[in-house]
Structure 1
Amino acid sequence: MDETDPARFGRRGFLASIASSGLLAGLAGVGSAASDDDAGPVTVSGRRIHKYRPDGDFFEHEQRFVSPELRDYYGKATLVYDEGTIHRRAVPDEYTDPDRAFTLNYRDTAVIGRFREFDRLETKQRDAGSADAAVGTASIPDYTGPLYVYNSDVDNPQEDDLGEATGPINVGWNRDLDRDAASINSQMESWGWTSLYAGSPGDRYVIMDEDASLPYVTKQDEHIVKGLSTPTTQYHVRAYDLPQYEEENFAVAGQAHKDPVLHDGPPWNFAEARDAASSAWDDNGYSTVLHYVENGEGYDTSDGLFDQVRES
């Protein structure tokens, strides 16, 4: 398939999902309902640009999203994301013999907003889920954690900084396991979850505003990875330690996906990667249960399900 084919890379499945789940319901009225400078989140069309530059055994990876529409809402047309590095084994030979920088770009859509705007809409979605649970539809009991992960054009963003919604939270570990993200990573490494190639992935962020002792927006605490048969692809779980509440039974939330060779776009295989992560625990004597949380249905291989890992 043509590497610029928008059918391969578009996030329209995600946009349809969050529209149907109510995350962006009433978007046109968000600004007036909140404050004069709240514009979104907004859905905009633009161009996704991935730049790769050789640096020793790795290629530095930078992603840009460019949209003139974005300027109308937030006064800037370009967001620049540091995506870390990928090993040269993931780079096609045409760019490594000899080494040269290269660029991939394609038309795409994005959901952009200030983190406070995403926070408000996640809260509305969780409240709607609690109401559904009260009348008997599927939901996670006592889960008040983050629902999505976001990219940002600044390090350690604050509530007024811009972010882009990039994927659903789809796995979590119970507090009764007595583990944090680091010990979960160590346990999964002992089961073979180690990467076949080195690299440094870019950061993704979640919103956690329920505990003043924690940052309002925080990046992943651990990268949990499993290299696959092709040495340039892997399952990747970004794991986030959650604050502890008396009524909250989740210690860690994660966002599982499958990295493509160049980390350059969908399909991210969210459901496949979630099942792989939870199956590692199932296969080693723990219990898992799926819950429907409506945070990813139709979003590029996600089905809106959250897998809860707990003691047997």
Structure 2
Amino acid sequence: MGVGGVGSARERTDNDGSGPPGTAGVANEERLPIHAEGKLIHKITPNPDSEGEYRYERTFKSPDLAERYGDPTFTYETISVPKEQVREEVRNGERSTYVQRTQQVIGTAQEQRNAEREIWNKKPEGGVQPQHIPPLDGNVPLYHYKKESDAEDMQNRGAPLNVAWETEDSQSIKNHMENGNGGGRWLPASPITAIIRQNRYVNLPDGGTKSNDTHVMRWVPNALCTTKQYHIRLYDVPFDDIKAVGQAHRDPCDHGKIPFLDANFKLDKAREAVVGFWGDGHSNINHESTDIGNTSNKFGSHSGTWAYFDED
């Protein structure tokens, strides 16, 4: 979430080509989202309506947003979190606000769809390509999004997706990974690690938007940390040959200590952990790897590679 460059969004994307895939400058006519630079403001305050909880509010302010959309402020959904997941200096009353200089990919829902289509059209050539994945095409969502609270057509691009299943829906994936032949290996260590389950959203090609259907987590044993875990957000999608897609990442040790800043979510490592479960004799499902190219300088641990799971 740190600053990745200098200059305006127009300079970063139009002049030097360093913007994320599927973005363009502030004045672009391609109807693509912009890579806006500005300040991300985190505000954490006690919830007056619920003892032991805090309200976590975030806003992103950018002159690039003002130039493109006429409003410099993007407001995220407010969430409530238990006091255990708030940084100690906030609980002690020493601090309530954090400000970061950062960049965000923000645009209308249609601009985000256009961006995903552009990325599909530029899918890398010469990479590892499965021989039998006709369904993994431009219908499949590439990212999930953080949704603005009061204008549903504006979205902030979140993490890239990296896993897909041919025949398993989200609930069957969850059931198998938690209770199947794996013997419940994919479970959080305690309820506290699973409390902050923020919704994310994917865009569907028919114009619809849907939130994640379920979560799967697996605690990573660590002598110094009880909150490190793998986490998959799963989405059922309405395609003939794809039942579900997911976003797999590894939560860092301080995950849940609001706000978590500059975290490395190790997306490729998490994808391989998912592959390890399904390929370790726990099912009759095979996996293939395919290079999609939905990379992100904000999530540098994702190479653009997906795992695609199909039956024998």
Q: TM-score, normalised by structure 1?
A: 0.77
Which residue does the alignment assign to 1:163? Answer: 155
Q: For the Cα contact (< 8 Å) 1:192–1:226, is it kept in 2? A: yes
SS of equivalent residue, structure 1 residue 184: helix
Pair 1:73 & 2:68 matched:
yes
Q: Which has the higher contact order (CA 8 A, sep 6+)?
A: 1
Provide, for residues 63-121 of structure 1, a one-character-per-residue CA deviation record: whole Å limited to 9, x for no partner: 2211122111112111121263444333343333x467622221101111101011112
Deviation at 1:223, TM superposition (A): 1.9
Pair 1:88 & 2:87 matched:
no
Question: 1:226 & 1:271 partners in 2: Cα distance?
Answer: 16
Pair 1:199 & 2:192 matched:
no
Q: Which amino acid aligns with 1:201?
A: R
Deviation at 1:270, TM superposition (A): 1.2
Q: For the Cα contact (< 8 Å) 1:291–1:308, is it kept in 2? A: yes
Query: Pick from 269, 273, 281: which aligns with 2:270?
Result: 273
Question: 2:82 & 2:251 partners in 1: Cα distance?
Answer: 13
Question: 1:121 & 1:151 partners in 2: Cα distance?
Answer: 16
SS of equivalent residue, structure 2 residue 122: helix
Which residue does the alignment assign to 1:122? Answer: 116
Pair 1:141 & 2:121 matched:
no
Which residue does the alignment assign to 1:103? Answer: 97
Which residue does the alignment assign to 1:4? Answer: none
Question: 1:92 & 1:22 partners in 2: Cα distance?
Answer: 34
Deviation at 1:194, TM superposition (A): 2.4
Q: For the Cα contact (< 8 Å) 1:53–1:101, is it kept in 2? A: no
Deviation at 1:29, TM superposition (A): 7.1
Which residue does the alignment assign to 1:59? Answer: 54
SS of equivalent residue, structure 1 residue 294: coil
Distance 1:255 1:162, change over 3 A: same
Q: Which amino acid aligns with 2:272?
A: D
Provide, for residues 240-293 of structure 1, a one-character-per-residue CA deviation record: whole Å limited to 9, x for no partner: 111133xxx221000112234236343222112222222221222432221111
Question: 1:20 & 1:81 partners in 2: Cα distance?
Answer: 22
Pair 1:296 & 2:285 matched:
no
Question: 2:305 & 2:128 partners in 1: Cα distance?
Answer: 13
Distance 1:113 1:20, change over 3 A: closer
Provide, for residues 180-212 of structure 1, a one-character-per-residue CA deviation record: whole Å limited to 9, x for no partner: 1122112222233223324142221111124xx
Question: 2:151 & 2:187 partners in 1: Cα distance?
Answer: 27
Query: Pick from 205, 208, 215: which aligns with 1:209?
Result: 205
Query: Pick from 38, 42, 65: which aligns with 1:46?
Result: 38
Which residue does the alignment assign to 2:8? Answer: none
Provide, for residues 12-65 of structure 1, a one-character-per-residue CA deviation record: whole Å limited to 9, x for no partner: 6xx99x9688523x657742x5xxxx5x41111111122223454443322221
SS of equivalent residue, structure 1 residue 224: strand
Distance 1:306 1:232, change over 3 A: same
Deviation at 1:227, TM superposition (A): 3.0
Question: 1:258 & 1:136 partners in 2: Cα distance?
Answer: 25
Deviation at 1:297, TM superposition (A): 6.1
Pair 1:240 & 2:229 matched:
no
Task: Report % sequence identity.
Answer: 26
Q: How many residues align?
A: 278
SS of equivalent residue, structure 2 residue 260: coil
Question: 1:83 & 1:167 partners in 2: Cα distance?
Answer: 19
Q: TM-score, normalised by structure 2?
A: 0.77
Distance 1:22 1:48, change over 3 A: closer
